[in-house]
Amino acid sequence: MAHSFTQEYFQIPVVTRAYTTACILTTAAVQLEVITPFQLYFNPDLIIRRYQIWRLITSFLFFGSVGFSFVFNISFLYRYCRMLEEGCFRGRTADFVFMFLFGGIVMTLFGLFANVFFLGQAFIIMLVYVWSRRHPLVRMNFFGLLNFQAPFLPWVLMGFSLLLGNSIVVDLLGISVGHMYYFLEDVFPNQLGGRRLLMTPELLRAMFDQPEDPDYRPLHEEQQGEDLLQDEEPQE
């Protein structure tokens, strides 16, 4: 059983595996009181004046204590990060890492003005937004209550946050950055006179783009039927 779990774990694509694992380990460290959220949150003053550079990364890794919010966020992170990596970014790991860097840098810059302490949820919304815009015909079912096309998913999640009494600033930040990436990568290059502005550095390609493992088994969307939010095939 342990061997089977290890095998399945290493079948998860590398970026999804690394990010999800980092988020889970960070939460576990907080739960075990090895570290505290005060050592993780985004604080420009501490980053600049006290050189606590790790906050640029740890602010993306913590979703709160173990509970409904953590499970909800980590399930969405795993699901949509993996579907992106195994879908439109399959065989393009360097491009996927570059999207992570683009999103992280832009959110950090916005975070200087938005007074947001943890950016992980906004990052998840960005991933969901990019996936939803690249799968416009997929129909979604949210908790068995709502049926809608995939591009409405980020807005449904924002409405859900609002119903729970949470601030929607984080959701709006994720949607904004996701739209920036989608426009620069998918829309502007295809317009008259447009061109690609987001070019993945060759260093990232040398580091991450490798021949695909012949035994690699991608996760199909239909295998995700037990998730809180399910996909349906597009209707003719």
The pLDDT value recorded for residue 67 is: 85
pTM beyond 0.75, yes or no: yes
Which DSSP helix (H) or strand (E) runs through 232?
strand 229-232
The pLDDT value recorded for residue 224 is: 42
Average pLDDT across the chain, whole number: 87
The identity of residue 154, as a single letter, is P
Provide the 10 A C-beta neighbour count for residue 170: 24
In this predicted model, what pLDDT tens digit does every residue of 128-153 receive, in sequence order?
A: 999 999 999 999 887 777 889 999 99
The identity of residue 163, as a single letter, is L
In this predicted model, what pLDDT tens digit does every residue of 144-189 receive, in sequence order?
A: 778 899 999 999 999 988 888 788 899 999 999 999 999 999 999 9
d(CA 164, CA 72): 13
Q: Is 80 exceeded by the pLDDT of residue 196?
A: yes
